Structures are given as structure tokens and as C-alpha cells.
């Protein structure tokens, strides 16, 4: 009797674990609906529910006053799907000269419901005045990169991808952090590119040296199929600016980094003038 019960519990355990994984198709539908809402500026009811926590530039606000109520012509979007974390990330670029935006949005889903219901919308919204902002220039760089699916036999696992993202972000606060730099590696910082497409491009350029405040409040979306991690966070070095970092890993090494940093209304940045001494960014 006892044996049977134990066997039964073992049999049930994997099923319970699987139920926590969110369905790709549910998350895809919700992300489509999110982008339709953003394009029309008329959010679907599911995003306005009081069960959804709406965060914009690291502040919880009402979605009724959020960017989602402003119709935007999205010229480019790129997505990550995280079935274990029950979340998606979408990079959106809006090149309309009157309303330019580069936005990074994480959608978080109810794990128990298998990804049917959205529980959180978390966006970093950058526009004119933000760090190195120029949407059309950002787009021109993004279109030259390859973020395609990675062959299943050469994928890094979830823990490795998260660790690499953390090692990079840990450089602020711990300059000895050992990042597995790829060669080449290109960083798109706002609209500024660290590389020129050569085989020797490095993402290590422009990383601050000396003691820096850490990168905090990290929220992750991890997609092994494209070797990518989205982290929304707070950049201590840039006066606690709301920030988005997205990483692409190939063969266990960092290949691309995209950043968005909200800097509107910032005039003098004393820390940055010291930090940026080492910057060598092309066009
Ligand atoms: C999803 O949300 C709707 C509306 O709030 C609710 O009626 C439904 O029960 C939820 N579904 C699950 C599976 O939790
Ligand atoms: C954005 O960059 C493009 C070059 O890619 C340049 O032609 C344009 O003037 C820039 N826009 C602004 C507002 O600086
Ligand atoms: C690209 O940058 C590398 C490193 O800075 C430099 O050696 C190389 O000459 C550059 N190539 C081009 C085509 O500009
Ligand atoms: C920037 O400052 C203006 C004027 O004080 C204010 O209306 C606006 O909300 C601020 N923008 C941000 C992004 O903080």
C-alpha cells in the first residue's frame, strides 16, 4: 500500500512540473494581442485588467496612462519566448520621426494557467533625449544582425544563459567579473554601435572601470532557442536609470548586446564623464 502510494506520487510529480511550463502558443497569442494594442493605441481588455501589474520605466502606473494607449507604427519587432519563466520579451522600434521610440517589453504570465493569462506588463520606453537615442539608426544596425534560431545541438542551457547575462551586468560593481566575450562581439548602445562588423569587434570597449554602483532589480526572460536573455533593470551608474539589456550568446560566448536607457531630463552626468573616457564607439 505504502509502496503504491509512493509510486503514484512519483508518477504525478513530473506532470505537476510540466504544468508549470507555459504554452508557446498562448504566449504568442498574447504577445500578438499586445502588439495590436500598441499599434492601435486601444489596449485589449486583458491588458487593462486590475489583475495585471503595468510597469513602465520601472514605475508601476495605470495602463490607461501608459505608452500602450498611444498608437505607434512599429517598424520592427523581435521576440523571445521563455516557457519555463512564463514570459515573453519584445523589442520594438518605431521610426516615425514625429514619434520615435525604442521599447523593450516583457509580458509575464500566470504559471498555473499555463500561459493563458497575462499577469504583468513591464516596459522600458526610450525616445528622443534618452541615452544615444536615434530610432532609425538603431533599426539600421539591428537589421544587419543575425538573431536566428540556434541549432539544438549547440544551444546553451537556461542556467548558462542567465549566468552570462549576470556576469556582464556584474561588471558594474565588480570589474573582475569574467565575461565570456565572443570575438567578434557587438554592442548596440542606444543607437551607437561598438563594432564595424570586423572579425575583431569587441563588446568590452566602453565598459566602465573602477568602483561603480551595481545593476539592480533584474527581471529576466530567457529563450534558449535563440540563445538570448532580456534583462530589465536599474543602472546605478547612470543615476538609477531604467534600463533594458538584451544578450545573444553563440557557442557559449557573448555575440550581441542591445541596450536601452531612459535618460530624459538628465543634464549633467558627472559619473558618466569619468566612466565614458574609455568609450570607443563607431558611428
Ligand atoms: C484568466 O482570466 C480570466 C479573466 O480574468 C478569468 O475568467 C479566467 O478564469 C482566467 N483563466 C485562468 C485559467 O486562470
Ligand atoms: C539619426 O541617425 C541618422 C543616421 O543613421 C541621421 O541621418 C539622422 O539625422 C539622425 N537623427 C537625429 C534626430 O539625430
Ligand atoms: C574595424 O575596427 C577594427 C578595430 O577597431 C579596425 O582594426 C578595422 O580596421 C576596422 N575596419 C573597418 C572596415 O573599418
Ligand atoms: C521631463 O520633465 C518634464 C518637465 O518637468 C515632465 O513633464 C516629464 O514628465 C519628464 N519626463 C520624464 C520621462 O521624466
The predicted-structure confidence for 152-207, as pLDDT tens digits, reads as follows 999 999 999 999 999 999 999 998 999 999 999 999 999 999 888 788 898 988 88
Q: Domains in the chain and their CATH numbers? A: 4-126 (3.10.450.50), 135-276 (3.10.450.50)
* pLDDT value of residue 12: 43
Task: Check if 40 has its Cβ closer than 6 Å to any atom of ligand 3.
Answer: no
Instruction: Give the up-direction half-sphere exposure of residue 257: CA atoms within 13 A in the CB hemisphere.
Output: 34
Distance CA 249, CA 161 (A): 7
Ligand closest to Cα of 191 equals 2
pLDDT of residue 116: 84
Name the residue with higher pLDDT: 48 or 281. 48
Q: Rounded to whole angstroms, how far apart are CA atoms 34 and 1? A: 51
Say which range, 40-54, 72-86, 93-107, 260-274, has the weakest mean pLDDT.
Answer: 260-274
Chain position carrying cell 553563440: 250
List the residue whose alpha carbon is closest to atom 12 of ligand 2: 134
48 Cβ closer than 6 Å to some ligand 1 atom? no
pLDDT of residue 15: 44
**Does residue 267 have its Cβ closer than 6 Å to ligand 3?**
no
How confident is residue 266, by pLDDT bands cut at 50, 70 and 90? low
Cis peptide before 184 (omega within 30 of 0): yes
Report residue 53's pLDDT band, with 50, 70 and 90 as the boundaries.
very high
Which residue has its alpha carbon closest to ligand 2 atom 11? 134
Quick one: pLDDT at residue 112?
Answer: 82
Q: Say if residue 4's pLDDT is above 50.
A: no
CA distance 256 to 250: 9
**Which residue did the predictor score with more confidence, 210 or 258?**
258
Contacts of 58-65 spanning 24+ positions with Cβ under 8 A: 58/124, 58/217, 58/232, 58/234, 58/242, 63/121
Q: What residues have CB less than 8 Å from 89, skipping those under 6 apart? A: 79, 80, 82, 104, 105, 106, 107, 221, 223, 230, 246
Which residues have C-beta atoms less than 6 Å from ligand 4?
Answer: 264-265
Q: What are phi and psi of 153, to 5 degrees?
A: -85, -5
pLDDT value for 113:
74
Residues making up the chain, counted from first to last: 283
* Cα–Cα distance measured from residue 155 to residue 4, given in angstroms and rounded to the nearest whole number: 39
Q: How far apart are CA 41 and CA 44, in angstroms?
A: 9
Quick one: average pLDDT of 227-247? 96
Cell digits of residue 26: 498562448
Residue 222 is predicted with a pLDDT of: 98
Amino acid at each position: 500500500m505504502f509502496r503504491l502510494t509512493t509510486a503514484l506520487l512519483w508518477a504525478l510529480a513530473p506532470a505537476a512540473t510540466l504544468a508549470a511550463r507555459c504554452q508557446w502558443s498562448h504566449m504568442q497569442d498574447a504577445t500578438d494581442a499586445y502588439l495590436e494594442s500598441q499599434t492601435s493605441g486601444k489596449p485589449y481588455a486583458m491588458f487593462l485588467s486590475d489583475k495585471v501589474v503595468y510597469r513602465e520605466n520601472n514605475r508601476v502606473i495605470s495602463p490607461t496612462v501608459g505608452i500602450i494607449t498611444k498608437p505607434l507604427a512599429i517598424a520592427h519587432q523581435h521576440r523571445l519566448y521563455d516557457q519555463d519563466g512564463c514570459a515573453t520579451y519584445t523589442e520594438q522600434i518605431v521610426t516615425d520621426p514625429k514619434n520615435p521610440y525604442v521599447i523593450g517589453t516583457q509580458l509575464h504570465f500566470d504559471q498555473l494557467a499555463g500561459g493563458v493569462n497575462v499577469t504583468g506588463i513591464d516596459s522600458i520606453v526610450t525616445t528622443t533625449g534618452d541615452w544615444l537615442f536615434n530610432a532609425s539608426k538603431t533599426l539600421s544596425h539591428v537589421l544587419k544582425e543575425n538573431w536566428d534560431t540556434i541549432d539544438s545541438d549547440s544551444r546553451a542551457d537556461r542556467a548558462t544563459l542567465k549566468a552570462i547575462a549576470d556576469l556582464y551586468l556584474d561588471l558594474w560593481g565588480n570589474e573582475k567579473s569574467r565575461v565570456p566575450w565572443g570575438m567578434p562581439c557587438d554592442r548596440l548602445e542606444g543607437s551607437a554601435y561598438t563594432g564595424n562588423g570586423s572579425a575583431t569587434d569587441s563588446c568590452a570597449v566602453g565598459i566602465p572601470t573602477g568602483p561603480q554602483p551595481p545593476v539592480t532589480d533584474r527581471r529576466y526572460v530567457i529563450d534558449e532557442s535563440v540563445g538570448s536573455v532580456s534583462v530589465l533593470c536599474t543602472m546605478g551608474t547612470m543615476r538609477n536609470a531604467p534600463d533594458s539589456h538584451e544578450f545573444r550568446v553563440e557557442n557559449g560566448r557573448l555575440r550581441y548586446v542591445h541596450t536601452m536607457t531612459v535618460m530624459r531630463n538628465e543634464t549633467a552626468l558627472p559619473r558618466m564623464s569619468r566612466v565614458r573616457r574609455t568609450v570607443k564607439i563607431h558611428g
